Amino acid sequence: DGLHLRSGLDRAKLSELHGNDFIEICQKCKRETFRSFVTYWPDTYRPTNPLGQHVTGRSCPHCGGALLDTCVDFDEAPDGDEVWGPNQVHGMARADDAMKKADLVVAWGTSLHVIAHYFDPWDPESAFLDRREEACSLAVINKGTVCDEELAVLKIEEDVDATMAALL
């Protein structure tokens, strides 16, 4: 929803692994364009998009290149193999570094299906553990099934807004 950046949070401290509904990335110059509307509607994320997957049909205001939405769909991983390549929105290098150091991952309101493609440091059998010494702990706040929830040290089966309100 873009609230992290709108709040003034430093981009260098944020990795939006699912992408950002309001940001497009230029295929040519890799610069970001912030929008006041959701960029991927109606079907830019589909492989059947006639312009190409994630191509929004808009042009970069900086260089005229084609703009891509940044939303990561299921079975995609923004790790350089997908259409975006390395970029500031997804911040995969920052996220990788943070996950190497994490003692605890707290997942709020996510099924973890996208993130589990490339980060799952809580799973003792994960290939990710080649990059760290041992598994970390996982805590989940989510309504519904979550990938790897059987590995969580805590699962709160509750609405994230209600949970946050109760904590505050």
Catalytic residues: 18
State how far the Cα of 19 lies from the Cα of 160, in Å rounded to an integer. 20
Peptide bond into 42 cis (omega under 30): yes
Which H/E stretch holds residue 103? none
End-to-end CA distance of the chain: 22
For residue 16, give the nearest of 102, 100, 103, 84 by alpha carbon: 84
Give residue for tokens 């390549």: 85
